[in-house]
Amino acid sequence: MSEEAILEARYLTRKFKTADSRVLTAVDNVNLKIYKGKTLGIVGESGCGKSTLMRMLVQLDTPTEGQIIYRGKDITDSKGKSLRENHRRIQMVFQDPMASFNPRMKVLDIISEPLLNYKLIKKNERKNIAKKYLKMVDLPEEFMDKYPQNMSGGQRQRVGIARALTLEPEVILCDEATCSLDVSVQDHIIKLLVKLQREKDIAMAFICHDVALVQSLAHKLAIMYLGNIVELISGDKINKEAKHPYTKALIGSIFDIGVDQNTQIETIESEAPSPLDLPQGCSFQNRCPHCKEICTIKKPELSKLKGEHYVACHLYG
């Protein structure tokens, strides 16, 4: 897998100034690579900065530091026309489909709008386009005349995916695309995404807070904690070879039907610190059972452990 990454984040950082001039670091020096035809899963708790990261990658937000590289070119400062061109290549599926649709637009308009915006189709071709993409996401044709309010959550999410597909982007970022859905529906959506990726060779990034779910979809997993990537590991190896204490705790919190009823449930004591008030050194220090002195002084960097497995922890160098 020594291809070039199609989309890359280099030292990407996003800081916010608060009203009382403190600094909130939502994304801290993140380095990630997304490859064609592969899915990168990004896992972490609420508030760890995943959505902010994704919005920067899709250029709805500008990073404070760092670069975004697309096909080897630095697109961080794109504006105007070139920015619009970038949007054609890098698309996003939003977390809350209800909020991401204009309540006054029918599905027909929602799906055909991106193509009309870029003048890729004419007005009389809208219906055909809508039919095509509704079919692609396994929705019946009649849905094109409906309003998003009049559908179930799963159907809305599919429409969101259809919309993201219309411009035939090379990268699709999914921001918790399934978190508001029933488990059975989630499954359908995941299967749909896998199928589409295979058919169109799309590069995907998938944010989720549910490790178990992401495993079935992602080739690679990035675990994020308070703005930092703490571990980068292949999807099929995570259960056995996870090294970072946080990752291990996440894995340990997965309840499977076949889990041994007698296993001790490891919980993480205490709460995550406020992102406004990060301690010096490793941000996981107050919750880590293996915290050493160096952890309170120096922040661990994401460094290669073995092959494609990276960890940011003083336990491992």
Partner 1 sequence: MKIVNFAKENREFVIFSIFALIILLVAIFAPALATHDPYEAVLNDSLQSPGREHLLGTDVLGRDLFSRILYGTSTTVSSSLILVGIIFVVGTALGMLAGYFGGVMDMIIMRISDIMISFPDLILAIAIAGILGSSLGNAIIAITVVSWTKYARLARSLVIKIMQSDYISAARLTGSKTPHILKKYLFPNILPTLIVTAATDIGSIMLQLASLSFLGFGAQPPTPEWGFMLSEGREFLQRAPWLLIFPGLAIFIVVMVFNLLGDSLRDVLDPDTNRINKKCRKKVIENEFKKDCKGIRRNSASNWGIKWMWK
Which CB atom, from 81 or from 240, has the smaller least distance to partner 1? Answer: 81
In single-letter form, the type of residue at position 129 comes to: I
Query: Which residue has 């990268």 as its token pair?
Result: 171
DSSP assigned state of 178: T
Complex with partner 1: residue 167 or 192, whichever CB lies closer: 167
Stretch that binds partner 1, among 83-91, 182-190, 198-206, 249-257 (CB under 8 A): 83-91
Q: How far is the CB of 251 from partner 1 (least distance, A)?
A: 31
Tokens of 281: 């050194």
- Contacting residue, 17, 84, 195, 292, with partner 1 by CB under 8 A: 84
Q: Is 94 in the site for partner 1 (CB under 8 A)?
A: yes
| 181-240 positions binding partner 1, by CB under 8 A | none
Q: Which is nearer to partner 1, 32 or 54 (CB)?
A: 54
**Scanning the structure block, which residue is given the tokens 């890729």?**
120
Question: Contacts with partner 1 in 22-61 (CB under 8 A)?
Answer: 55, 58, 60
* Region from 8-16, 97-105, 215-223, 280-288 binding partner 1, contact rule CB under 8 A: 97-105
- Give the interface segment with partner 1, choosing from 1-9, 84-92, 248-256, 309-317 (CB under 8 A): 84-92
CA distance 228 to 44: 10
DSSP 279: P
Q: Judged by CB under 8 A, which stretch of 39-47, 143-151, 282-290, 302-310 contacts partner 1?
A: 143-151
CB of 2 to partner 1, least distance (A): 31
Q: Considering beta carbons, is residue 167 or 179 the nearer one to partner 1?
A: 167
Q: Does residue 14 interact with partner 1 by CB under 8 A?
A: no
Q: By CB under 8 A, is residue 149 in contact with partner 1?
A: yes
Q: Which one-letter DSSP state was computed for residue 317?
A: -
- Nearest residue (CB) to partner 1, 156 versus 243: 156
Whichever of 6 and 282 has its CB closer to partner 1, that residue is 6
| Per-residue tokens: 181 | 């859905």
* Residues 124/192/56/110 CA torsion (nearest 10 deg): 20
Rounded Cα distance, 249 and 267, in Å = 7
Looking at residues 101 to 140 of the shown chain, list those that interact with partner 1 (rule: CB under 8 A).
Answer: 101-105, 113-114, 117-118
Side-by-side strand order, sheet with 309-311: 90-93, 171-175, 203-208, 39-43, 220-225, 228-234, 309-311, 303-306
Choose between 80 and 307: whose C-beta lies nearer to partner 1: 80
**Considering the complex, what minimum distance in angstroms separates the CB of residue 101 from partner 1?**
6
201: left (phi over 0), alpha (psi -120 to 50) or beta: left
The C-alpha atoms of residue 68 and residue 90 are separated, in whole angstroms, by: 12
DSSP string, 82-138: HHHHHHHHEEEE-S-TTTTS-TT--HHHHHHHHHHHTT-S-GGGHHHHHHHHHHHTT
Q: In what order do the strands lie in the sheet with 7-17?
A: 23-34, 7-17, 65-70, 73-74
Rounded to a whole number of angstroms, the minimum distance from the CB of residue 68 to partner 1 is 15
Q: Which is nearer to partner 1, 83 or 297 (CB)?
A: 83
Q: Which residues bind partner 1 (CB under 8 A)?
A: 55, 58, 60, 84, 87-88, 91-92, 94-96, 99-105, 113-114, 117-118, 147, 149-150, 163, 166-167
